[in-house]
Amino acid sequence: MAKLIGGVDEAGRGPWAGPVVAACVIIPDSVNLPILKESKSISPQAREKLYEKIKRKTIWGIGMASNREIDEAGIVKATEMAIKRAIENMPQKPDFLLIDGKDNFSLPIKYKTIVKGDEKVDAIAAASILAKVWRDRLMMLFSDMYQKYRFEKHKAYGTKLHRKMLIRFGVSPLHRLSFEPVSMVKRNENSILLHVCCGPCATSVVERLKNRFNNITLFFYNPNIHPRKEYERRLDEVRKLAEKWNLKLIEGKYDIRRWFKMTHIYRHEPERGKRCTVCYAMRMFETVKLAEEMHVPYFTTTLTVSPLKDEKCIFHIGEVLSGKFGVNFLEEDFKKRDGFKKSVELSKKLNMYRQNYCGCIYSLMERKHGYRRSTVEKGSIS
């Protein structure tokens, strides 16, 4: 009696959520199923047709290991569990297995591993199709249960869209906590990246945020500040504040020429005009980009604590950037509830340097000279 050879493959080793699914397929000698000629580079629709054909004409079994089992045992051991379950679910057991890949498993049936086996053995190719379509269909069901994660789009693989949804909404019951960036997002679930314009403005804002976030990271990114001596002075105050309150501080690049290039066309604009809008957007863009890289789910800015800043404009920029990067923007007017008054009191109490102008060269000229912005040329920026 001829041996029954089962082809084995899995789907879902790499995704950040959901189970790993294994399939075992025996193609009877009487069945003509040239899967290898059709299984590569086929459309999802063609794969679905092959899936139904394989189920009708072969002996097969499907097994799964959950995301929790993956976290507890590791992906290789979980894959082994899924393979064993696939074999158990077969109406007729194989005598020998051909398994895609090169992992070592502890199985009740002798086997041989074949690297790129789905390209060399029809039974493995058939198992590959069964496992993939089965898992994809399962992820479509999960997408109805967890709609905000858009599992129907990425099937839980590490796509840009999945990353955005994960950072924005946090970890779901389907996510694999042992996988990055899931574990990083989990660690950062109650974290916020705070753009800081200066030490005094940060005081009352940090005090307010401490009641809501376990982890606050300060981001000092202000290439608008002129001259360099003023920039260093404000940065030094933020360093002292971060050290006093035991907060992590990230210092952005002081690229004043880039800032000037972006705002120079609006040099004649008054305070709170288009130049300020560009300046807000530039600093908040770098903040949300860093928050995404750090897998921090929230970002905001101290800018709204100042009575001279347009909070509605800042909120609009935050909303747009939140949509683009998938990081939640904490929309809060920090000058409300005496936020600005408290910042003044706290900065005095902490003996902090408190500047008397916004920071850019144009606001400095307004303070000093009653301003003639047209006299400020590119060459004057150091």
pLDDT in tens, 196-234: 999 999 999 999 999 999 999 999 999 999 999 999 999
pLDDT for 37 equals: 58
Residue 49 within any structural domain of the chain: yes
Whether 266 and 130 map to the same domain: the answer is: no
Whether 83 and 204 map to the same domain: the answer is: no
Whether 117 and 197 map to the same domain: the answer is: no
Whether 279 and 143 map to the same domain: the answer is: no
Whether 284 and 372 map to the same domain: the answer is: yes
pLDDT for 371 equals: 45
Residue where one domain finishes, among candidates 126, 149, 172: 149
For position 119, which CATH number holds? 3.30.420.10
The alpha-helical segments, DSSP class H, found in the chain are 44-57, 67-73, 75-88, 122-145, 151-154, 160-169, 182-187, 199-209, 228-244, 256-263, 274-294, 311-325, 339-349, 361-369
Residue 167 within any structural domain of the chain: no
Strand partners, 8: 24, 99
Tokens of 133: 């379509």
Whether 111 and 29 map to the same domain: the answer is: yes
Query: Domain range holding 223?
Result: 188-380
Residue 288 within any structural domain of the chain: yes
Strand partners, 329: 299
Tokens of 184: 């990083």
Residue 158 within any structural domain of the chain: no
Whether 345 and 199 map to the same domain: the answer is: yes
Residue where one domain finishes, among candidates 128, 149, 170: 149
For position 262, which CATH number holds? 3.40.50.620
Amino acid of residue 300: T
Residues 6+ apart with CB under 8 A from 45: none
- 8 Å CB contact between 217 and 323: no
| CA proximity to 275, closest of 284, 286, 266, 285 | 266
Residue 376 within any structural domain of the chain: yes
Please tell me the distance from the alpha carbon of residue 206 to that of residue 212, in angstroms, as a whole number.
10
Whether 216 and 69 map to the same domain: the answer is: no
Name the burial class of residue 313, with classes exposed (0-12), middle (13-18) and buried (19+) by CB atoms within 10 angstroms of its CB.
middle
Residues 6+ apart with CB under 8 A from 284: 195, 299, 301, 314, 317, 318, 321
pLDDT for 338 equals: 94
Please tell me the distance from the alpha carbon of residue 382 to that of residue 378, in angstroms, as a whole number.
9
Residues 6+ apart with CB under 8 A from 208: 334, 339
Whether 85 and 10 map to the same domain: the answer is: yes
- 8 Å CB contact between 164 and 140: no
Residue 70 within any structural domain of the chain: yes
Residue entry with tokens 């189920």: 55
Whether 107 and 19 map to the same domain: the answer is: yes
**Number of domains making up the chain:** 2
- 8 Å CB contact between 314 and 301: yes
Residue where one domain finishes, among candidates 122, 149, 176: 149
Residue 172 within any structural domain of the chain: no
Please tell me the distance from the alpha carbon of residue 302 to that of residue 321, in angstroms, as a whole number.
16
Residue 164: alpha-carbon gap to chain centroid: 5
Per-residue pLDDT of the chain (382 residues; tens, 9 = 90+): 568 999 999 999 999 999 999 999 999 988 887 776 555 567 888 889 899 999 999 999 999 999 999 999 999 999 999 999 999 999 999 999 999 999 999 999 999 999 999 989 999 999 999 999 999 999 999 999 999 999 999 999 999 999 999 998 999 999 999 998 899 889 888 999 999 999 999 999 999 999 999 999 999 999 999 999 999 999 999 999 999 999 999 999 999 999 999 998 988 887 778 999 999 999 999 999 999 999 999 999 999 999 989 999 999 999 999 999 999 999 999 999 999 999 999 999 999 998 888 888 888 777 766 544 443 333 333 2
pLDDT for 269 equals: 80
Strand partners, 193: 217, 299
Whether 218 and 135 map to the same domain: the answer is: no
3-state SS class at 153:
helix
How many separate helices (H) and strands (E) can be counted in the chain? 14, 10
Residues 6+ apart with CB under 8 A from 130: 23, 25, 51, 54, 55, 60, 62
Whether 95 and 236 map to the same domain: the answer is: no
Residue 140 within any structural domain of the chain: yes
